[in-house]
Chains A and B, each alone.
Chain A
Amino acid sequence: MQTLLRTPLFDRHLALGARMVPFAGWEMPVQYEGVIPEHMAVRTDSGVFDVSHMGELEVEGPRAFELLQSTLSNDLGRVADGGAQYTLLTNESGGIVDDLIVYRLSPFRFLLIVNAANREADFKWLREREIAGSDVRDLSEEYALLAVQGPRSLERLGLPEAMAFTFSEGEIDGIACMINRTGYTGEQGVELMVPAEDAPQLWDRVVERGVTPAGLGARDTLRLEVCYPLHGNDIGPETDAISAGLGWVCALDKEFTGVEELRLVKENGPQQRLAAFVMEERAIPRQGMPIEGGGEVTSGTHSPMLDSGIGMGYVPAGRAAPQSELTIDVRGKPRRARVVKKPIYKREADPSGGD
């Protein structure tokens, strides 16, 4: 039997009465009060997630940039110090080893925040491709990560607004942390990276500021409403970025692992595409359910905002356009769905015309 890993916040979760579940080798809170109230807290106010299971890799050295520019899909040359970028680690066939956010700490030092399940594979992947003058290290055990997300998250934390995909050194109630303007919910917010030993105090301060603890259950419904792919479900080593709708993070004019394959897919047009859909009948799509005419559901859930079943799945390219009708096999029963433009849920523009 495999022992599950615990984050530095494990005791905090138990004290809050969280329901703990195994996830990617970790024992994580799936919910505290309930998935739906936690989801709504993030959409209307703010929520805090323990995402310390995620991996932190550091790549340092005079040739760190060169190593990353040749292994990551996005153009790292567009990121300045204090900037971050969503990007993919790709394999020779253009498949997705992982999706991650890279932070430029200095011209010679980069931080990669990667999926928990892929941390070891990513580390090994980069280590095997290491070049003289670049050093890859796994810092995951030294740091904890708290995602504070929602329209009132910055106000609750007393933080100024800042551009998305930037970061800075800062502090919350005297606890020093790296404040990243990134997230996985479609809402404004930050991800706070702290030394593991400071994490419980930071968690307490954040919760005292009125931020609602939220579990992995809400994290999944939130990300799916805004169509952020989940590695292992919607994307993986067998799926390419173009078919997954992630062509926008692939700089096909530079050289990186698998770029030739991706150029071909782009040129010929993908055979299938990752489409987002909303159920037209009462039913909840789930991962693995077949879609009539080819394809299957890669992520599915009940959307608290739409009060309806929603999902994503690969369908033949000709059926991937918005308004296309799909039929999902829900445990033997055909249920109608309609392809929608991504994201499935979008906050209505506020009256001032902002977005």
Chain B
Amino acid sequence: MFTMSPRSVTHILTGTRIRERRLALSRRQADIARAAGISPAYLNLIEHNRRPVGEDLVARLAEVLEVPAEELASGREEARMAALREAAARAPSGKDPAPELEQAPELLARFPGWAGTLIATSRRADALERQLVNLSDRMTQDPYLLTTLHEVLSAVTSLRSTASILVEEGELPEEWRHRFHANLAEDSLRLSTTAQALVAYLDSFETEEGIYTPQEEVEAWMAAGTPPIEEAADLATDAARALARDHLLRMRAERAALPDSTLGGASEAGDPLRIAARLRAPLDLVMRRLAALRPPGFEEVGLLVCDGSGTLTLRRPAPGFPLSHPGDACPLWPLYRALATPQTAISARVRVPEGREFDTISYATRSQPEGIEGPLLTQAQMLILPAAGAPDAPGRVIEIGASCRICPRSDCPARREPSILSPHRAIGGL
């Protein structure tokens, strides 16, 4: 199921930017090539993204083109390319015309303002979707909100009944009149106090940025390119910084065990199991390193890791693959099937509600780090790639979602709670 794309986007971006810069200066290819010490034909190949560009050559071309080297280098742009792919993945499946992904490098290079607007809009949509889920969670589960709303309702009910009695019941005994007046004063005070507290609480929803758990802070930090921990704005809590340090240590150890050059050279095999076999490396290590390095053929790979309880411990998103809160995932993800069959890789095609399909490989391992008497630990991981070609077994595509709360599949047999996106249906399996 796994196929390779013919080229990495890395040099595509760099070549396009070199060409754009040269044209902006109205310089001829031959002049620039001569000044940089290469042939015009070679520069032509670079500019048309047919040859990779090393760091030294980028530096020489940058000097000739009178720009900082980093403006030509593609590292900074890769993140923007990934963001553009994310934005394209948000488009509904079957939309005509589909986003022209192959033109994305041109869009970035020639219309950086429009590309930035598209990226910002897509991110805003992500943030709003996330906020919607958070608000829905609170509306239905937040004990403070439920209690406060009950208080408001009780006070309003009492006020309405008592006021009606005073207005509509005619003459009342003096004792009852005094009592109802006192009740009115008491309920109106209770209502105003509770309402103020409720407004203050609801206001706090808007000021929060939607990052709630240390794990989510770490994921935001990873998405920002793992900047130095002490300077990372995304790492707001001690717990998140500790998790980030652990992550760096683990990444360093795994990189030492399977260096970039070794993995990059073997990634052309396409199938992670073949790569693992060729490198004589554990499959779980190969899967994690593919997700971290994203070598050619794996540029859009995503990775999910969960522990034996099913709790997600790492989420590296793949463009268009729906993710929700760490503790609130779709039970139909093949990741969870792997937990039941450790040491056996599972290949499965999945389809998300928007219609996109992905090929997944899931694999679980077991270990006893404290010895034979120690606890048995299970970890599963799922590698996610955009679907390539027809599925091996037509019709065997698993319909999945992000989590029940935001999944529109109302007839899903694994549903555990109603969706906020579709009419209420009976919950199966209970």
Decide whether A and B are members of one complex: no
On A, residues with C-beta under 8 Å from B are: none
On B, residues with C-beta under 8 Å from A are: none
